Structures are given as C-alpha cells and as structure tokens.
Amino acid sequence: MAAHTRRDFLRRATTGLAVLGAGGLTLPAGAQPTPASGDLGDYAEFLKGEATTTTAPAPTGKWAATEDNILGPYHREGAPFRAKVTPPLEPGDTLVVNGRVWALDTRKPIAGVVIDIWQANAKGRYDNDDRRNPPAKGVFKNRCRLITDEQGYYEYETIHPGRYLNGRQYRPAHIHYLVRVKGYRQLVTQLYFKGDPMNDKDPFIKPSLIIEPKAVTIEHGTYKVGTFDIVLPPTP
C-alpha cells in the first residue's frame, strides 16, 4: 500500500471487527501484520501494459438475450463465493466452464454480476434432495457463487453432473444459473450439454442453452472446457 502501512490497515480492520460483537469475526490477541515480501518490480510494469491492451471479445452468433429456464426445487440462497463448485476429490469427470456476461443494450461486458451455480453430483443427487436428511446449516455441496470481473468474465471448476429421474423420465445433465446485477433483468436458466441422450426427450431444454465442451489434455490427465456466455436485457 502506498499511502498507508499494513499496520494501519490491520488496525482499522481490527476496529471494524470489534463492532461485530459476540459471535462475529475476531482477530486473535497478539496477532501481527502479515510481513511484506517485496514488490512486483518489473512485473508491475508488465501488468500495466496488459491492462491497457486486454479487451473482451464480443460473442459470436445471433445477438439476443439468454433464454430462461426453470428454477427447479433445489436452489439454496447463501452459497459461498468460490471458483470450485464441488468439494475436494469429488468423484466425476472434471469440467471447467467459463464465459462472460454481456449487456444487451450496450453490447459491453458487465462487471460485478453475481452468479449462483448449483448442480447434481455425478450420481444425479443434490445436497438437499433428501428431506429426511437435509444438509447442515452453512454446508453447501456442489454449489457456489461467482462475481464477474471488470471484463464481465467468470470461470469455475466442477464435475460433469449426473442425470436424475424426474417422474418417469431422466432429465439430461445440466447446471443451474441464477444471474443478478443492478440495472438488468434477473435471469434463471440452465446450461446443457451437446450429445446427452436425454436432450431430445426433455420438456424443459432449449437449444440455445446447449454447449459442447472440448477435451484438454495436460500432464496429469484430461478434462473438458466449455464456454457459456450470458446476455442480459436491461430492466424496464
């Protein structure tokens, strides 16, 4: 920090935490400021150059608002902000999904968009689909929230979700989205996968919501990456 020391920052933070009172966050007695380990040096200049040249690529294809989809019965408010949807070592095929949130009116990316993500595990089970055994308060499995960066970009790691029986028919694999930002319409939708044998039988799926992840091979194995851009119309 240029104008203030780390100790000043810590002192202000400690004062703010004290206001929370009993049950709030508290800093252990005797805690010391985290020591500095140098500065960015030449890398800082490199980052400045990157900031001036990086621009978000416009989405291809028809320019239209992203279609909505059903909310479903398994949404939960309050999921933690993190970039990994699943717990550590969750069984399943690793999947990375990325994209940008765009404004329909300006055709520019939107920063600060909050996106709720939730899905079934590889066996088609949600963490709250058993009313007799609900998840503990504050425990969220296969759920997260994300915030888009200054270029409207988001990305998360998960596993390919499993199908589950809905009445007499299995729903195709899908990932739920709830997208919210001031000035634009809230969007509830779902992401689907090309080639799923249940796609043609599902009454809720919409073709525009289907993506086709591509395999990426690295030293330790293979995973898939898919892109799902979102376009939001402004509020009336």
28: which residues sit within 8 A by CB, 6+ positions away? none
Q: Residue 108's pLDDT band (boundaries 50, 70, 90)?
A: very high
What does the pLDDT read at residue 34?
84
Catalogue the active-site residues: 126, 164, 171, 174, 176
Q: Residue 210 pLDDT > 60, yes or no? A: yes
Q: Residue 19 pLDDT > 70, yes or no? A: no
Give which of 187, 188, 192 is closest to 171, Cα–Cα: 192
What domains appear along the chain, each with residue ranges and CATH number?
Answer: 6-53 (no CATH), 94-232 (2.60.130.10)
pLDDT above 90 covers a percentage of the chain that reads 72
What does the pLDDT average to over 7-14?
Answer: 48
Q: Is 170 left (phi over 0), alpha (psi -120 to 50) or beta?
A: beta
Q: Quick check: pTM over 0.85? A: no
158-182 pLDDT per residue, tens: 999 999 999 899 999 999 999 999 9
Q: State the Cα angle at 91 between 90 and 94, rounded to 5°.
A: 85
Average pLDDT, rounded, for the chain: 88
